[in-house]
Amino acid sequence: MKKGHFISFEGPDGSGKTTISSLVSQALKKRGFDVVYTREPGGIRISEMIRDLILDPKNVEMDAKTEALLYAAGRRQHLVEKIIPNIDAGRIVLSDRFVDSSLAYQGVGREIGIKEVFDINMFAIEGYMPELTIYLDIDPQVGLDRIGSRDFKDRLDQEDISFHERVSQGYELVKEKYQERLKIFDGNRSIEDLTSEITEYIIEWITAHEA
C-alpha cells in the first residue's frame, strides 16, 4: 500500500488558500493521486457545528480562550475521525488550515501567547503535525481587500486591521519556528501560476518521501 501524507495550507484571510488548495487537490487527483480534501475549522459534522459556533457574528461575547479551546476541540475530532484514518489508508490528506492557524490567530492575534495555544493544541492532537505546509504569503491588507466584497463576513473577518496585522506577525513566528516544514509561495502571483507550481512541488515532495 502507498504511504499516506498530511499536507496543510496556511496564510492570512484572503491569501487564496481555499481557491488554490481546491484547485491543487483537483490537479493531483487528475494526475492519479488518491487525495482527500478537507478544511478547518470544520471538515466533518461535529467540527462544522463547532465552526458555526465560533464564526457566528452574533457571538460577540466569546472569550478568547473559549475560542482557542473550541478550535482545538474541532481539530481533535477532525483529526481522529478523518485525517488519521485517511492517512492510515494511504491517502494524501490536504487540509485548508490546521494548527498553525491557531498559533497565529489565537496565540498572537488574540494575544493568548503562542506557547499557551501550542500546549492546548498538543493535548488535542498529541503531536500529530502536518509533514508539509504550503504557505501563501500576502500582505494582510491585500487579503482583506480581496475578501471585502464577500456578502457574508464571519466573526473573525470582521475584526479590525490591527488584529489581522498581529495574525500576520504570528505567522512570521510560525515561519521561523517551522522552517523545515513550511514552503512559502508568493500569494500575489496569479491563481494559475500558483496552482501549477504548488501541484508540481507537492508531486516532487511526495516522490521524495515515497520510501
Residue with cell 480534501: 37
146 binds, among ligand TYD, ligand ADP, none (CB under 5 to 8 A by kind): ligand ADP
Where is 37: in which H helix or E strand?
strand 35-39
Based on the shown chain and the rule CB under 6 A, indicate whether residue 18 belongs to the binding site for ligand TYD.
Answer: yes
Amino acid type, 167 = V
3-state secondary structure of 156: coil
Amino acid type, 133 = T
Report in angstroms how near the CB of residue 169 gets to ligand ADP at its nearest.
18
Quick one: which of 38, 86, 95, 101 contacts ligand TYD (CB under 6 A)?
101
Q: Which is nearer to ligand TYD, 153 or 203 (CB)?
A: 153
Shortest-Cβ-distance residue relative to ligand TYD: 105
Residue with cell 487528475: 30
Task: Mark the segment that binds ligand TYD (CB under 6 A) among 1-9, 128-136, 152-160, 185-193.
Answer: 152-160
CA distances from 63 to 54, 110, 148 (A): 10, 10, 25
Report in angstroms how near the CB of residue 207 gets to ligand ADP at its nearest.
26
Q: If you compute the radius of gyration of the chain from its CA atoms, what whole number of angstroms results? A: 16
Binding site for ligand TYD (CB under 6 A): 13, 18, 40-41, 55, 71, 96-97, 101-102, 105-106, 147, 154, 156-157
